Amino acid sequence: MRFYINYDVNIACRVILQEQLELLNIKYKLLPLGGFEISSTVSKEKFNALKENLGRYAINIVDNQRKHLFQQIKETIVEIIFDKDKFPNTNISYYLSEKFNLSYGHLASVFSEYTYTTIENFIIIQKIEKVKKLIIEEKLNMTEISYELNYSSVAHLSSQFKKVTGLTPTVFKRIVEKRKQLID
């Protein structure tokens, strides 16, 4: 029997962070956008233990402000692509500028510094990942998927899908169906 999980990355990380801080008896205050503040002096050993414990969950403490901003941009993009209710009515560049109260040029510069790609390319890749997920779930047809992800047409979506994956959505769907048949 196969099961799937659905989770909110931000909530999961906050819960793990709280558990690890409390496990080490570190007094803290959670800050918005994934930050935290330690309320008292912590030994280097305790701090290293915290870093190590969080590292097991692939959570890293970032002390570099630009790197933290990059992480927040990345998480925001993933969140708006994968959470239908958070997809902005405006274009994403405007949404990001407003959310972080910084110019889009600055955000794009910070983002490309860590990924060597543009925000636009990252958005396309995330949208294609969402398309794959929706194709696998088989709840929506291509027209509905195209509409949900704000594509101008199914042809535009198919073109981007093929550019990123090397496959058309139809071929991808056939591969998924064949794998399901083999498993069953």
Mean pLDDT of 45-68: 86
- More confident site: 36 or 170: 170
Q: How many domains does the chain have?
A: 3
Q: How far apart are CA 173 and CA 96, in angstroms?
A: 33
Q: What's the distance, CA 19 to chain centroid?
A: 22
DSSP-derived letter for residue 24 is T
- In terms of domains, do 154 and 167 share one? yes
Kindly compute the dihedral angle of the four CA atoms of residues 79, 99, 95, 11, in this order, to the nearest 10 degrees: 10
SS3 28: strand
Is residue 71 within 8 A of residue 13, CB to CB? The reply is no
- In terms of domains, do 128 and 109 share one? no
The beta strands (E) that lie in 32-174 are given as: 35-38
The helix/strand count (H/E) of the chain reads as 9, 2
Lowest mean pLDDT, pick from 7-16, 39-48, 130-139, 172-181: 7-16
What's the confidence (pLDDT) of residue 87?
67
Q: How far apart are CA 180 and CA 104, in angstroms?
A: 43
Could you tell me which residues are beta bridge partners of residue 29?
A: 37
Neighbouring C-beta atoms of residue 102, cutoff 10 Å: 14
Q: Per-residue pLDDT tens for 8-51?
A: 777 888 899 999 999 999 998 887 666 788 888 888 899 899 99
What's the confidence (pLDDT) of residue 172?
94
Q: What's the distance, CA 138 to chain centroid?
A: 22
Whether the model pTM is above 0.85: no
- In terms of domains, do 148 and 109 share one? no
What's the confidence (pLDDT) of residue 88?
67
What's the confidence (pLDDT) of residue 8?
76
- Range of 81's domain? 63-116
Find where tokens 């990001």 sit: 96
Mean pLDDT of 43-62: 89
Boundary of a domain, candidates 72, 91, 116:
116
Boundary of a domain, candidates 20, 39, 61:
61
- In terms of domains, do 29 and 48 share one? yes
- In terms of domains, do 106 and 126 share one? no
Q: Per-residue pLDDT tens for 73-126?
A: 998 999 888 886 766 667 889 999 998 899 999 999 999 999 999 999 999 999
How many residues are there in the chain?
184
Mean pLDDT of 66-76: 88
